[in-house]
Amino acid sequence: MVSSSFRVTLLKLGLPENRLVVLEGKGGVVEGEFEGIRYVRFRDSARGFRRGTVVFENGDVVLGFPHIKRVVQLERGIKRVFKNKPFYVEEKVDGYNVRVVKVKDRVLALTRGGFVCPFTTERILDFINEEFFKDYPNLVLAGEMAGPESPYIVEGPPYVKEDIEFFLFDIQEKGTGRSLPVGERYKLAEEYGIRHVETFGLYDRSKIEELHELIERLSRERREGIVMKTPDMKRIAKYVTPYANINDIKIGSHIFFDLPHGYFMGRIKRLAFYLAERHIKGEEFDEYAKALGKALLRPFVESIHEVANGGEVEEVFTVRVKNISTAHRMVTHFERLGVKIHIEDIEDLGNGYWRITFKRVYPDATREMRELWNGRAF
């Protein structure tokens, strides 16, 4: 149940009472709290409140970050999505999505699901100049947190060598969720010194060969892909490199039983469309086939051996925090997500930061493998 003060706020914002009651009934709106700041997050979408929308006590609304359509046949995809219109091409940075917003006097980082993330919130002002929010309290900075020391993602992009960084890719208005035009965003990023995802300039359908070359280069450089956006941000589409498809499979197959089959199928499909569109043949085709097979099988087989030898399927990750209490809050935060992690190690880096090592165990995947290894018939 949502408390009465929030009911009033939500009704005032235009959510019909009967819709609210249904949502509450199925846990579609949930109340949360972060250091005395109360909020509700939408687990489902309802009447203009996209999934992941957060409403604060003072009536501030941060809409959920919208889904971006994916194309798997690049040439035909851009023709369908953009027709003859030009579009900006930006790097798709591999990390986790955050929306950064100032509510009352606090700058908060929201996850895709609409939680205030204790880790990202503690670190965010290391990357974003707070002046921005003094000048634009009504804007939301959406970006990717990426790097090797991340609580949600196993690997980061190759050019973030340590820790984690913020990469801006969208600026939206509170309340409406409307995006600023690309040009304005580039200007603000520059003006306030906010690191932006790499931009590759304006393209259109006629530049398809250059776009293919860009994808090939990004793939060689172990980067995830591109996001294409019309200058007014009305049409957006993403395309992922063959490298990222295979690498995701490699990361996922380690915890094979914990992921839906669609995780693997989707990536195999995207790779197949890449190979078909680029007419990859002969030795190059064989290399992709081998890389895919290895990505799918090697970490999976290694996990089986681990469990067969009495171990567990697990992942270890580190993050840098300013206060050890933030690490404990992350444990609680993951618990709310239904995930069990524990702190393995705390190291004083001597520069005001602590490096925390967490371990995440996958009990379901471990159990499943153990039973199959022990001969369960099915």
Q: How far is the CB of 350 from ligand ATP (least distance, A)?
A: 33
Q: How far is the CB of 97 from ligand ATP (least distance, A)?
A: 3
Query: What are the φ/ψ torsions at residue 293 (nearest 5 degrees)?
Result: -60, -45
| Residues 321-360 interacting with ligand ATP (rule: CB under 6 A) | none
Distance (Å) of CA 195 to CA 112, 189, 212: 20, 7, 26
* CA-based radius of gyration for the chain: 22
- Contact flag: residue 144 with ligand ATP (CB under 6 A): yes
273: left (phi over 0), alpha (psi -120 to 50) or beta: alpha
Measured on CA atoms in the order 156, 162, 164, 170, is the torsion positive or negative?
negative
Using CB positions, name the residue nearest to ligand ATP. Answer: 97
DSSP conformational letter for 163:
S
Q: How far is the CB of 330 from ligand ATP (least distance, A)?
A: 20
Strand ranges for 165-241 from DSSP E: 165-173, 199-203, 225-229, 236-240
Q: Tell which one of 46, 55, 74, 90 touches ligand ATP (CB under 6 A).
A: 90
Q: How far is the CB of 316 from ligand ATP (least distance, A)?
A: 23
The residue (of 146 and 296) whose beta carbon lies closer to ligand ATP is 146
Rounded CA gap, 300 and 74, in Å?
31
Give the 3-state secondary structure of 306-365.
Answer: HHHCCCCCEEEEEEEECCHHHHHHHHHHHHHCCCCEEEEEEEECCCCCEEEEEEEECHHH
Q: Tell which one of 67, 134, 161, 281 touches ligand ATP (CB under 6 A).
A: 67
The residue (of 64 and 299) whose beta carbon lies closer to ligand ATP is 64
- Contact flag: residue 133 with ligand ATP (CB under 6 A): no
Site string for ligand ATP, 151-170 (x = CB under 6 A): ------------------x-
Q: How far is the CB of 138 from ligand ATP (least distance, A)?
A: 21
Rounded CA gap, 341 and 335, in Å?
8
Q: Tell which one of 101, 109, 227, 327 touches ligand ATP (CB under 6 A).
A: 227
Q: Tell which one of 8, 11, 22, 68 touches ligand ATP (CB under 6 A).
A: 68
Given the DSSP bridges, would you call strands 37-42 and 54-56 parallel, antiparallel or unpaired? antiparallel
Q: Tell which one of 73, 97, 318, 357 touches ligand ATP (CB under 6 A).
A: 97
Number of residues that bind ligand ATP (CB under 6 A): 13
Rounded CA gap, 198 and 227, in Å?
11
- Contact flag: residue 196 with ligand ATP (CB under 6 A): no
Q: Are 119 and 151 in contact (CB under 8 A)?
A: yes
Judged by the rule CB under 6 A, the positions of this chain that interact with ligand ATP are 65, 67-68, 90-93, 97, 144, 169, 197, 227, 238
